[in-house]
């Protein structure tokens, strides 16, 4: 095998230490950067996942507060009461008619399933008439005030044609957290959280 002249490099890398050839493996810095990138991607993936029933209950409580304010405004504007009726599967907004209370179909006051349940409700969904406390999955719900007027069931909230009503509250209890969707009858609904 011919030897190279002084200053010429062989066509293959040298395996001798300090020979300036290619290294095998990764440096500590490369490994740390790779682990950091993997940790960041894992964290972002965790944030993108659903937050579970407790977060769904918080979202639902905020939605209910906004929908209750809308129902109260619509009842006052149309001079016609609007009721909110709920049950284990979901809830609906109702209005009186010659046939009794019928479901509203104009958004946003439409029938909805509870956000922590993976269920769809029919457009004409009408919850049970009697309960003011029930369970929806792992969540316990309780309604206070507002029912029994104009032929509505005791567990319903009824928003009258006047802009002021009696105090109303819906409690959502899940995993040691109580969310209260509350109004004193004159102010907008708000969500209070207790642990």
**Which of 11-29 are b and which e, b meaning 16 or more Cβ less than 10 Å from the residue's Cβ?**
eeeeeeeeeeeeeeeeeee
Pick from 148, 176, 188, 153: which is nearest to 62 by CA? 188
pLDDT of residue 9 exceeding 80, the answer is: no
Task: Say how far residue 141 (Cα) sits from the centre of its chain.
Answer: 16
Which pLDDT band holds residue 189 (cuts at 50, 70, 90)? very high
pLDDT at 192: 92
pLDDT of residue 122 exceeding 80, the answer is: no
Q: For 100-111, what is the mean pLDDT?
A: 88
Alpha-carbon gap, residue 52 to 139, rounded angstroms: 12
What are the CA-CA distances from residue 144 to residues 13, 22, 162 (Å)? 82, 76, 19
If you average pLDDT over every residue of the chain, what do you get?
A: 79
70: Cβ–Cβ under 8 A, 6 or more apart, which residues? 108, 109
Q: Per CATH, the architecture of 53-194 is what?
A: 3-Layer(bab) Sandwich (3.55)
pLDDT at 13: 58
67: Cβ–Cβ under 8 A, 6 or more apart, which residues? 84, 93, 108, 109
Pick from 153, 187, 174: which is nearest to 61 by CA? 174
- Domain spans of the chain, in order of start: 53-194
HSE at residue 142, side-chain half, CA atoms within 13 A, is 8
Q: For 123-142, what is the mean pLDDT?
A: 73
Rg (C-alpha) for the chain, rounded Å, is 31
């Amino acid at each position: 095998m011919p030897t190279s002249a002084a200053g010429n490099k062989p066509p293959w890398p040298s395996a001798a230490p300090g020979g300036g050839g290619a290294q095998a493996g990764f440096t500590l810095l490369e490994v740390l950067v790779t682990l950091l990138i993997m940790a960041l991607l894992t964290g972002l993936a965790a944030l993108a996942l659903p937050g579970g029933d407790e977060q769904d209950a918080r979202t639902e409580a905020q939605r209910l507060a906004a929908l209750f304010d809308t129902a109260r405004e619509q009842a006052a504007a149309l001079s016609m009461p609007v009721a909110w009726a709920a049950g284990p599967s979901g809830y609906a907004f109702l209005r009186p008619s010659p046939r009794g209370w019928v479901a509203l179909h104009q958004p946003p006051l439409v029938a909805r399933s509870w956000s922590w349940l993976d269920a769809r409700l029919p457009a004409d969904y009408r919850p049970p008439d009697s309960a003011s406390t029930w369970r929806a999955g792992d969540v316990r719900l309780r309604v206070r005030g507002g029912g029994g007027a104009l032929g509505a069931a005791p567990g319903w909230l009824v928003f009258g044609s006047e802009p002021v009503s009696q105090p109303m509250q819906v409690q959502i209890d899940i995993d040691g957290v109580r969310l209260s969707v509350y109004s004193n009858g004159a102010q907008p609904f708000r969500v209070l959280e207790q642990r």
